[in-house]
Chains A and B, each alone.
Chain A
Amino acid sequence: DAGVIQSPRHEVTEMGQEVTLRCKPISGHNSLFWYRQTMMRGLELLIYFNNNVPIDDSGMPEDRFSAKMPNASFSTLKIQPSEPRDSAVYFCASSHPGGLAGGSSYNEQFFGPGTRLTVL
């Protein structure tokens, strides 16, 4: 498996422009997570999906941010309009279903390489 795939790897845009980040989770994983990482705030969970349904979007900073997961193999994070303070590395991660049944189940997250976003 190629792991979690994110595109683009680098994005430079101007303030006010729309930015779309893309993620392809590992096949068979049913949970998908979007994180943002900055020097000031560290690694922050923005939103996560379970079976393509958004479960918790409390980490999404404001209405300019939106995320979708139209199917099990694709997700997008959109920023419209973008602002310089949105500059960060955005990570996507996916995980197995996990669960409480049995002692060997787990919910290890597999992270993608990230998208470095710069908003000028």
Chain B
Amino acid sequence: DAKTTQPPSMDCAEGRAANLPCNHSTISGNEYVYWYRQIHSQGPQYIIHGLKNNETNEMASLIITEDRKSSTLILPHATLRDTAVYYCIVTRNTNAGKSTFGDGTTLTVKP
């Protein structure tokens, strides 16, 4: 798995968009970008993933740069319940399914 770099913490005002960056400059052509989050005392939860195109689902949007060396997770209207640790993971989409979680970004949404 390619190494990822995320800021340790970020703040966001409630109702505003939260933009969480991730650098993965050593990503390989067959590696996907996954985002998970972990709300305090709960197990991590899958958010979204992508290969090279931008992706959107009911939770968030994922913007991947053209060179694929970085990505941004966007929570369009952050709420207090979005306060969590957000993990960016880069891994091959293989049957092994193994992912390595780094330190992530602690997002604090403030009223």
A residues with a Cβ closer than 8 A to B are 4, 31, 33, 35, 42-43, 45, 48, 50, 55-56, 91, 93, 95-100, 103, 105-114
Q: Mark B67-111, 1 if CB is under 8 A from A, else 0.
A: 000000000000000000001000101111111111100000000
Q: In the complex the two chains form, is A109's CB within 8 Å of B44's CB?
A: yes
List A contacts of B95 (CB < 8 A): 31, 50, 97-99, 107
Shortest beta-carbon distance from B69 to chain A in Å = 21
Q: In the complex the two chains form, is B94's CB within 8 Å of A48's CB?
A: no
Shortest beta-carbon distance from A67 to chain B in Å = 15
Interface range for B:
20 to 34
From B49, B100, B102, give the contact of A106 (CB < 8 A): B49
Q: In the complex the two chains form, is B101's CB within 8 Å of A42's CB?
A: yes
From A35, A91, A98, give the contact of B94 (CB < 8 A): A98
B65 CB within 8 Å of chain A: no
Q: In the complex the two chains form, is B93's CB within 8 Å of A99's CB?
A: yes
Q: In the complex the two chains form, is B96's CB within 8 Å of A55's CB?
A: yes
List B contacts of A96 (CB < 8 A): 97
- A97 to B96 Cα, complex, angstroms: 8
Q: In the complex the two chains form, is B46's CB within 8 Å of A109's CB?
A: yes
Shortest Cβ distance from A96 into B: residue: B97
List A contacts of B25 (CB < 8 A): none
